[in-house]
Amino acid sequence: MTRSTSTDPDRRRGAEAGRAVVQKLGGYLSGMVMPNIGAFIAWGLITALFIPDGWFPNETLAALVDPVITYLLPVLIGYTGGRLVYEQRGAVVGAVATMGVVVGTDVPMFLGAMIIGPLAAFLLRLVDRGLRPRIRAGFEMLYDNFSSGILGGLMAIVGLVGIGPVVQVITEVLGAGVQALIDLSLLPLVSVIVEPAKVLFLNNAINHGVFTPLGTARVDETGQAIEFLIETNPGPGLGILLAVMFFGPRISRATAPGAIVIQFLGGIHEIYFPYILAQPKLILAAVAGGIAGVTTFMVLDAGLVGPPSPGSIIALMAVSPRGGHLPVLAGVLAATAASFIVASLLLGFGRSERAKEKAERAHEAK
């Protein structure tokens, strides 16, 4: 017979506090990302349709792709994050500060926008709390404009010289970690680094900076390369989107089917990253899918003859070697199944969402 110790209540309280912090963080991320899902889908459609490897290549329309992901989407997230913290004034300052982060690095700065947008709005709220009561009548508009302008400009500089270099270091560290696991022949564990890095929109940096050179060298030796399948496998994202479509929150269920088409057929993996950022626990499903996929590729000796671009199932089939299509499909299906099962478990098979919606309907009926 075991006895409870005096530390058990403390442990429970600590666990509950930690869970509350994670839930609150997830709520903030969801509040910044989910209102902008429509913009992500618009970018995904433009990319899938009009880039050189898209369905209807068009050089003029493809010119929209880079500015939207580099500037518009991060600024929208920074704007929304600032608005969550301090309404319209916070939104404006958050957007201005995000521009500093955007021009400070070559990778899409979604992570930086999520940090600096709310931070700039929070600082403005502190400034207003201290100075606004001291402003004489008639000078309120002058104060409002100059305080937000000065603080927004300062935070843009902070983003340019501070956050950009940090993200660059993160990218280099992740690349070195992936290379080390490959060198140690622990290829399935690469997904532990790759999948979280993808969600932070570092997928292209890792794919083109690490896997494409390695895969190209291996193709020269063996005629095919598994490295081309690691980051581009659409299975983990497909499994998560399917789980969200069946068991996710109402707003996610409504947009997931369109995201599936863009991600699986169009090859634009970025479209499912916001769904994970809205519920960070789903990163475990992405990692599980990645490990299952890479393991299947290794067992079946799957590989591609070149890097698929974009990472759609169609592109994967196009660069599969003769007779190598089934092993590639098996790895994609294994990754989809693993990520779907884990994501469904993490979402509780929709039980909490159904209970919440039922409570909302009962409240509205009163």
pLDDT tens for 150-179 read: 999 999 999 999 887 787 777 677 667 767
Q: Report which residue type is found at 224.
A: Q
| Rama region for 51: left / alpha / beta (φ>0; ψ in -120 to 50; rest) | beta
Residues 6 or more apart whose CB falls under 8 angstroms from that of 317 comprise 325, 328, 329
Mean pLDDT on 314-334 = 91
pLDDT tens for 253-274 read: 888 999 999 999 888 888 898 8
Mean pLDDT on 131-153 = 88
Distinct helix (H) and strand (E) counts, the chain = 19, 0
- The residue with greater pLDDT, 104 or 241, is 241
What pLDDT score was predicted for residue 242? Answer: 96
What pLDDT score was predicted for residue 326? Answer: 95
Mean pLDDT on 39-56 = 79
Q: Give 361's pLDDT tier (boundaries 50, 70, 90).
A: low
If you count them, how many residues does the chain have? 366
Mean pLDDT on 243-259 = 88
Q: Give 1's pLDDT tier (boundaries 50, 70, 90).
A: very low
Would you list the DSSP string of 32-86? Answer: HHGGGHHHHHHHHHHHHHHSTTSSS--HHHHTTHHHIIIIIHHHHHHHHHHHHHH
